Structure 1
Amino acid sequence: MRHAYPPDEPAGSARHRRAVLYSHDTFGLGHLRRSRALASALTQSGVVSSAIILTGSPVAGRFTFPPAVDHVRLPGVKKLPDGSYISQNTGMDIDGTTALRSGLIASTVAEYEPDLLIVDKEPTGFRGELLPTLEKLTETGKTRIVLGLRDVLDEPEVLAAEWARKNAVEATERFYDEVWVYGPRSVYDPTAGLPLSDSVRARTHWTGYLRREIIDPADVPEHPYILITPGGGGDGAAMVDLVLQAYEKDPDLGPQAVLVYGPFLSGEIRNRFEDRVAALGGRVVATGFDSKIEALFAGAEGVVSMGGYNTFCELLSFDARAVIVPRTKPRLEQWIRANRAEELGLVRNLDQFRDGLTADSMIHAIRALPAQTRPSQAGADGLLDGLDVVIARARALMDINVQSAAE
């Protein structure tokens, strides 16, 4: 039964609306950071009064959240090189961990009774863990359900095979009221290779990229610097190594680089990088993880980064001249995004297939940063309406619920 409200504030009224954002987070920071940006926009705009993020990220507790946003940490899982998964620390096998996660999701949603559920990227959740919750919500019909997709998922053929294996197309057709693509259709269509019905395509909305702001003010260097960030860092060792090679080979290369390893680049690899950073005598300074990285983006003369979705949104939002070094395994997602962004004049793509990844190519790219055009000069401002569109679509969807209840 729904919670009781005063007579002039019925269940589902704007003042008491709630949202849940599901983020499976088996790797990296992207899903959690995207969900945090969405939850912040929805609560601060007043579209919902509160939101809960369901996340499997092991570093969720190291982020700050707006007052009306909380999170529930799902037991973590780890992806192995062969593509299989194991439990991160529960002592259970992967089937037991998935069942535990699924139960936590179902109980949280049942108790919280959201008016809106936004699912990030995976229509059925990790290993199908979301299906029992989607079934229940569809039966009751009180919660609007949205699938949120980043601008690029993978090569069309690869993505189609993956969605077929996971029965993701069937789930999208059956459970989701709308699909939101967090990018402009003019840049890329991540659904192009999927056999979606005309009905689903009619309820698909391209929002534009999700604009980022400085959430937590932080001290940044007063002197000029370039920011080096591999995102979460779990697959960023090659990029960090390349930047350090460039500074080691060219003693006149500048300005100073501020290197943020990310929380998942650690152990022996990071220790070796730390020795090399120390030998550069202050030309590169490094830190492990900075949850306030937006301030570093805003103050940087330029950025060298990998090509993840959140990093790309920050580059556009803070109008940063950027060199992107995209990964190409296990997905071509970052390469597709960086290649398309370079075609539009938004960034420089240091393409291993075209340029080769050598110290010399990185030296040249860093030296050329001051002459690059900023994203705004290529029309980036017109690509960043995502949060405004999300707010409008969320309000419209939940108003349908209120109208249905009144009838």
Structure 2
Amino acid sequence: MRQTGTRKYRAGSASRRIMFYSHDTFGLGHLRRSRALATALTEDNDDTSAIILTGSPVAGRFTFPERVDHIRLPGVTKLPDGSYVSQTLGLDIDDTTSLRAGLIQTAIEQYEPDLLIVDKEPTGFRGELLPTLEWLRLRGRTRTVLGLRDVLDEPEVLTAEWERKGALQAAENLYDEIWVYGVRDIYDPTEGLPMSDELRNRIHWTGYLRREVTDEADAPTDPYVLITPGGGGDGATMVSLVLSAYEQDPDLSPNALLVYGPFLSGDVRDAFDARVAKLNGRVTAVGFDSRIESLFAGAEGVVSMGGYNTFCEVLSFDKRAVIVPRIVPRLEQWIRASRAEQLGLVRMLDETRDGLTTDAMIDAIRNLPNQSKPSQAGANGLLDGLEVVKKRAEMLMNGAEGQ
């Protein structure tokens, strides 16, 4: 069991320091979620600061609010066979992991956070977080939280993965609370995990994390559908399908604004750019915009993949959306989109049921105006996550546990 001995707080100090760990081996989801949380937790108190530990190669392309900063960990890339390699250093994966672990430990020792919020991976990438978590538990002054998105994977797959990584033991012994950034009535990401009753009592359901426009982006003045594959690393199929829809149907409207994402690049993007150029302005494309919230706000509708952050933006900006979820390597996006469709929040374009065909995409875009908005299905009641997180964080840092 976790140790719950007397904790030593920064006596007499009103300042708060919060550290986020975001392993970021693929995509933008972990970093963007941590950034939204850090912004919320620091915005109301000038004496609160936050640092995000991230492996994202594009962290420096985001703006961070005052009193929020980030430390870039050496990046890793997942290969098709499931193995990992260092992105740039030429080190083997064991040496890279050891380097990352040392940087994490040093950062936390120097920063001395009151609260550590770990995104998704209880033990960190390849267990790199375990030495620091164990050190913090023995030291006894930093509260630790495991933050989980609304959906992780199929229960059987997740259970096997957590057993292999020692994640359940870490969650039981090394975390004060688990925050699920979702609603239990929609989906329980811990279903099937053999958690103790004591650990389940430490789970708090926050609701989804509301997003707002913080920086204005240059958006089209004419009506547009926003096309976003998130980070873009696995979005080529969806992007190609949308382009095919506009190529095949010259009357398809409104026009589309395509945001590739930073990880859709190289020859694939060059080929897409050539197709976009032939559409004579009916589709415009940009590589990456860290202010995508502003583009959501101005859109008539959205066609996207089914990542957590995109789903939060669809709900927050009350946009009619067609979700094209990936089904490999995880069913996470399909589970989220399927449940959201059942609730009337979005429409899903399902490969098995609908077919990923050009005609199916044309129909989906044409029917966007006929869809109900998420608010009509009660989306506003699902978006309390940031307010709940602020309350939980304050209680934890004030020493009130389990209330």
- Residue matched to 2:368: 369
Amino acid at match of 1:395: E
* Mapping for residues 12-91 of structure 1, pairs under 5 Å: 15-46=14-45, 49-91=48-90
Q: Cα distance, 1:45 vs. partner?
A: 2.5
Distance 1:276 1:15 in 2: 56
SS at match of 1:285: strand
Report what 2:204 is aligned to.
Answer: 205
Counterpart AA for 1:73: R
Determine the structure 1 residue equivalent to 2:157.
Answer: 158
The 8 Å contact of residues 218 and 292 in structure 1, kept in 2 or not, is answered as yes
Is 1:313 the counterpart of 2:312 in the alignment?
yes
CA distance, structure 2, for counterparts of residue 352 and residue 47 of structure 1? 49
Query: Partners in 1 of 2:99 and 2:165 — Cα distance?
Result: 20
1:144 aligns with 2:143: yes
- Following superposition, the deviation at residue 393 of structure 1 comes to 0.4
Partner of 2:321: 322
CA contact (8 A) 1:12 1:401 kept: no
SS of the residue 1:52 aligns to: strand
1:20: Cα distance to partner?
A: 0.2
What secondary structure is seen at the aligned counterpart in 2 of 1:310? helix
Question: Could you give the per-residue CA deviations for residues 200-219 of structure 1, whole angstroms, max 9, x where no partner exists?
Answer: 10010010000000111122
Q: CA–CA distance in 2 between the matches of 1:309 and 1:47?
A: 29
Cα shift at 1:193: 1.1
Q: Give 5+ residue unaligned stretches, structure 1.
A: 1-9, 403-407
Structure 1 distance, partners of 2:275, 2:12, is 57
C-alpha separation in 2, matches of 1:172 and 1:166 = 11
Deviations 1:85-107 (A, max 9, x none): 00000111000000000000000
Matched, 1:121 2:128: no
Match of 1:130 in 2: 129
Distance 1:74-1:217 versus aligned 2 partners, 3 A rule: same
Aligned to 1:5: none
Deviates more, 1:14-23 or 1:337-346: 14-23
The letter for the 1-side match of 2:17 is: R
Structure 1 stretch displaced more, 392-401 or 180-189:
392-401
**1:223-273 alpha-carbon deviations (Å, 9 max, x no partner):** 100000000000000000000010011010011100000000000000000
User: Which one-letter code corresponds to 1:271 in the other structure?
Assistant: D
Aligned to 1:181: 180
How many residue pairs get aligned? The number is: 393
Aligned partners of 1:15 and 1:46 also within 8 Å: no
Cα-to-partner distance string for 1:119-176 (whole Å, 9 max, x where unaligned): 0000000000001100110001100000000000000000000000000000000000
Letter in 1 for 2:81: D
Contact 1:42/1:48 (<8 A) preserved:
no
Match of 2:235 in 1: 236
Deviation per CA, 1:335-394: give whole Å up to 9, x if none.
000000000000000011100000000000000000110000000000000000000000
- Partner secondary structure for residue 233 of structure 2: coil
Task: Using the TM superposition, give the Cα deviation of residue 47 of structure 1 relative to its aligned residue in structure 2, in angstroms.
Answer: 8.9
1:15, CA displacement in angstroms?
A: 2.9
Shift of 1:398: 0.8
Rounded to whole Å, the distance in 2 between the matches of 1:354 and 1:301 is: 26
Report the Cα offset of residue 401 of structure 1.
Answer: 7.1
1:7 aligns to what?
none
Q: Deviations over 1:66-96 (max 9, x none)?
A: 1110000000000000100000001110000
Any conservation in 2 of the 1:40–1:66 contact (CA below 8 Å)? yes
Cα deviation for residue 13 of structure 1 reads 5.7
Assess if the C-alpha contact under 8 Å between 1:220 and 1:299 holds in 2: yes
5+ residue gaps, structure 2, are 1-8
Distance 2:318 2:289 in 1: 20
In the TM superposition, 1:289-300 aligns within 5 A as 289-300=288-299
Distance 2:36 2:348 in 1: 26
Question: 1:355 touches 1:361 (CA, 8 Å); kept in 2?
Answer: yes
Q: Secondary structure at the match of 2:70?
A: strand
State the match for 2:103 in structure 1: 104
Cα deviation digits, residues 296-346 of structure 1 (max 9, x gap): 000000000000000000000000100000000000000000000000000
> AA paired with 2:267?
E
**Matches of 1:36 and 1:215, distance apart in 2:** 12
Structure 1 counterpart of 2:139, which letter? T
TM-score, structure 1 as length reference: 0.95
Partner of 2:355: 356
Counterpart Cα distance in 2 of 1:181 and 1:230: 24
Does residue 271 of structure 2 align to residue 272 of structure 1?
Answer: yes
Taking the aligned partners of 1:288 and 1:155, their CA distance within structure 2 comes to: 32
Rounded to whole Å, the distance in 2 between the matches of 1:210 and 1:376 is 15
